[in-house]
Amino acid sequence: METVAVRTALSPSRASDFLNCPLLYRFRTIDRLPEPPDPVAVRGTLIHAVLENLFGEDAVNRTLERAHQLLPETWEALRAEHPDLADLEVPDGWLSSADDLLASYFTIEDPSRLEPAALELRVDHTLESGLNLGGIVDRLDIAPDGRIRVVDYKSGRAPGERFEDKSLFQMKFYALVIWRTRGVMPTLLQLYYLADSTVLSYEPTERDLISTERKVVALWNAIRTAIERQEFQPRKSALCQWCRHQDKCPEFGGTPPPLPTIELVPGAPKVMEDIEAG
């Protein structure tokens, strides 16, 4: 039987996969089933790339007009970088909807007045237990007095109050890694929801981040148990409507492929957020 190496590691996306549905975690991390690109997810990645390119311009040129100009050329560069996007069928108005999201971003802040410390920053840290935490931070701002702000762009709408904690998990995860690697706790975590020009802000505390660390360690222990027992149960929810693997899910009459032999190996997580919903 095939042996698959699985890193002793978690990123926010893979942690969320297991929390939402252990079987989805298995499909993505162990079976590594291919997933066709989704236009909504690709649009989110495109917005991230445009904003990264915009901050590469001189401050005086970081205008909405310039962002609109960057959109088509960034899209072509993204397609060249990801061959699987060549045949992506996008609905009418798809590119113009990305223009609308860029316009929304400019109602939140003026990029000409900012000089980010880092963009698309890869962060990782190995805990004493051997579990590696890693991911990519959209933007890191550092004030002259050393205060750190972590910013993440989302192309969707802000969640309701009941779901804010779930949305902030990713940001607390990043804050924990930054705190452990830099010795400085981020002062402010911000999620920019471009579909409705909303900002979700949070000021983490030491207690928050220690609690987050305990949560991810407990989550990894649950993953290890699932591996040892060879049991990755599906968890049906509203999120299933977006799942690309319903044909292999028992909840929808499907059958998962045979589970390969799994070998846990040390190392940073393979970040799979190249194309992300945002």
Put simply, whether the predicted model's pTM sits higher than 0.75 gets the answer yes
Give me the amino acid identity at 180. R
pLDDT in tens for each of the 278 residues of the chain?
689 999 999 999 999 999 999 999 999 999 999 998 999 999 999 999 999 999 999 999 999 999 999 999 999 999 999 998 988 989 999 999 999 999 999 999 999 999 999 999 999 999 998 999 999 999 999 999 999 999 999 999 999 888 888 889 999 999 999 999 999 999 999 999 999 999 999 999 999 999 999 999 999 999 999 999 999 999 999 999 999 999 999 999 999 999 999 999 998 776 644 444 44
Residue corresponding to tokens 């962060």: 123
Tell me the C-alpha to C-alpha distance, in Å, between residue 11 and each of 40, 86, 104, 170, 271. 21, 28, 28, 9, 7
What is the set of domains in the chain, with CATH numbers? 3-34+213-265 (no CATH), 39-113 (no CATH), 118-210 (3.90.320.10)
Separation CA 104–CA 192 (nearest Å): 10
